[in-house]
Amino acid sequence: GAVVSQHPSRVICKSGTSVKIECRSLDFQATTMFWYRQFPKQSLMLMATSNEGSKATYEQGVEKDKFLINHASLTLSTLTVTSAHPEDSSFYICSASVTASTDTQYFGPGTRLTVL
Amino acid sequence: AQSVSQHNHHVILSEAASLELGCNYSYGGTVNLFWYVQYPGQHLQLLLKYFSGDPLVKGIKGFEAEFIKSKFSFNLRKPSVQWSDTAEYFCAVNAIGSSNTGKLIFGQGTTLQVKP
């Protein structure tokens, strides 16, 4: 149980285009979903927290207009990287928690974004 | 701000050796504590967690961790490692009641390499 999927697993795009990444909780309803960024050989950095039906809360330094997050249902959250640039190339990981945000987070497999 | 420190960045062990990975956090209040593992090419998986109760928690695959409140520590242990334990290990803390309530603060990660 508690499976989280992400799509796509890898994406390559040209600079200036937008990319949408989906995060789904497959066998549970997620009250809260989280988006992280992981740099090579480094830990996960929280980008934003989203609750179904409300606006996402972004961490300091994360541009909300660049990283658009939509949590339209209890099983789906999307991250759209707008006007992507090479420096946005990274590994993006989502997680979901069943009840409160303080609950256990279950992680998706991640999406490797490469911006040319 | 709260932080999590993992002292060992890269650990190399032979099979059957005992393992202890250190994790310390900086927060004086209530914490939820987690150890996640990331096998090569796979997503983060929950190894074990501590919310309350017995400070010695047992997780999957023979891992255990002990919460020592006075030392702000949550070290991960396994009496006898296997080659299949080769992975990246992350300690994470949820600082309840802080400005970061609901957010997982990750340590830098420890790369464990087990030699057959």
Average pLDDT over every residue of B21-29: 94
Percentage of chain B exceeding pLDDT 70? 100
Mutate to test the interface with B, among A91, A97, A104 (most CBs of B within 10 A): A104
For B104, name the nearest residue in chain A, comparing CA atoms only: A46
What confidence score (pLDDT) does residue A90 get? 94
What confidence score (pLDDT) does residue B107 get? 94
What is the spatial distance between Cα B106 and Cα B102, in angstroms, rounded to a whole number? 13
What confidence score (pLDDT) does residue B103 get? 85
More confident residue, A109 or A72: A109
CA count, 13 A, side-chain hemisphere, A67: 23
What is the spatial distance between Cα B17 and Cα B82, in angstroms, rounded to a whole number? 8
* 3-class SS letters over B40-82: CCCCEEEEEEECCCCCEEECHHHCEEEEEHHHCEEEEEECCCC
- Out of A43, A101, A106, closest to residue B106 by CB: A43
What confidence score (pLDDT) does residue B32 get? 93
Average pLDDT over every residue of A96-108: 82
Residue B102 contacts A, CB cutoff 8 Å? yes
- Out of B49, B96, B109, closest to residue A104 by CB: B49
What confidence score (pLDDT) does residue A100 get? 66
Residue A102: pLDDT band with limits 50, 70, 90: low
More confident residue, A53 or A106: A106
